[in-house]
Amino acid sequence: MQVRRLSEALGAEISGVDLSRLSDTSVASLRALWLEHLVLVFHDQNLPPGEFLGVAHRFGEPMDYPFLRGLDGYPQVTVVAKLEHETINFGGMWHSDTTYLPEPPSATLLIAREVPPHGGDTLFASQYAAYDALSPGLKRALDGLDGVSSSAKADASRTREDRIRESGRADRPEEFHAIHPAVRTHPETGRRALYVNPAHTVRFDGMTEEESAPLLAFLHAHQTRPEFTCRVSWRGGTLALWDNRSVLHNPVNDYHGFRRVMHRVTLKGDTPRR
């Protein structure tokens, strides 16, 4: 197993590993690396849906995605795709997956099935680094605030609507809302991380959207500063595993006219705590 860091803040590319043949020792080593680097990238992984889901089970308990049906026979494997005729990509802004749930995912696994000839990278940002870089005064203020997340926030939902029409779940509720600390303590590392995001956080609890907007605007610009980020380039068979509790991600929409198809599994998390 070889480890190559992607940036100072987060991310590591792991080579010499066949994810379909992991021993318990290898899983433990990879989990330690994941908690250290937050994003792990594995290239050249030949994992059909059943084996992909099997890999996910080695790192946690897969969960259903509330808005889309999964693959036939593999309901916890969802398709994330942008097709040749589309100009808006799914989830195409900085976010942490489904923070509008009471127990948001602990992790996300994404594997590339079809990639464009250029573009289609994904950016990741460490929210440990973002929190650590704040002033002591702002840290104290944020430590007492809760963020309100909604699945209906306009910029996040507009791409989802097309997907729902094509492959939505009949039993889905119209909207999800959840209140979580603006700064959460990671349940495994004990580190503090910013836990708001542009896609789902609409306001602070006890404040109006207008009152919340200036501070959220600052935080959203701050938490994605270049020095907090890394960039992952995909090829067929590339798999990324990231910590949804301490990382934001943003799929770059720079490949109009080409197809990009990914399979995704999210792992169950817990209730965010201060």
Catalytic residue status for 249 = yes
- On whether the CB atoms of residues 182 and 146 are closer than 8 A, the answer is yes
Count of other CB atoms within 10 angstroms of residue 160: 16
For residue 79, give the H/E element and its range: strand 78-82
Q: Which amino acid is at 139?
A: K
pLDDT digits (tens, 9 = 90+) for 75-91: 999 999 999 999 999 88
Q: What local confidence, expressed as pLDDT, does residue 90 receive? A: 86
Catalytic residue status for 97 = yes
Catalytic one of 180, 203, 245, 249: 249
Catalytic one of 95, 163, 180, 192: 95
pLDDT digits (tens, 9 = 90+) for 196-240: 999 999 999 999 999 999 999 999 999 999 999 999 999 999 999
Q: Enter the pTM of the model.
A: 0.94
Beta strand pairing call for 12-15 and 39-42? parallel
pLDDT digits (tens, 9 = 90+) for 246-271: 999 999 999 999 999 999 999 999 99
Catalytic residue status for 245 = no
Catalytic one of 37, 69, 97, 186: 97
Residue 171: partners with Cβ closer than 8 Å, 6 or more residues away: none
The topology (CATH level 3) of 2-267 is Double-stranded beta-helix (3.60.130)
Catalytic one of 37, 184, 203, 264: 264
Catalytic residue status for 200 = no
* Domain edges within the chain: 2-267
pLDDT beyond 50 at 175? yes
- Whole-angstrom distance, CA of residue 163 vs CA of residue 12: 31
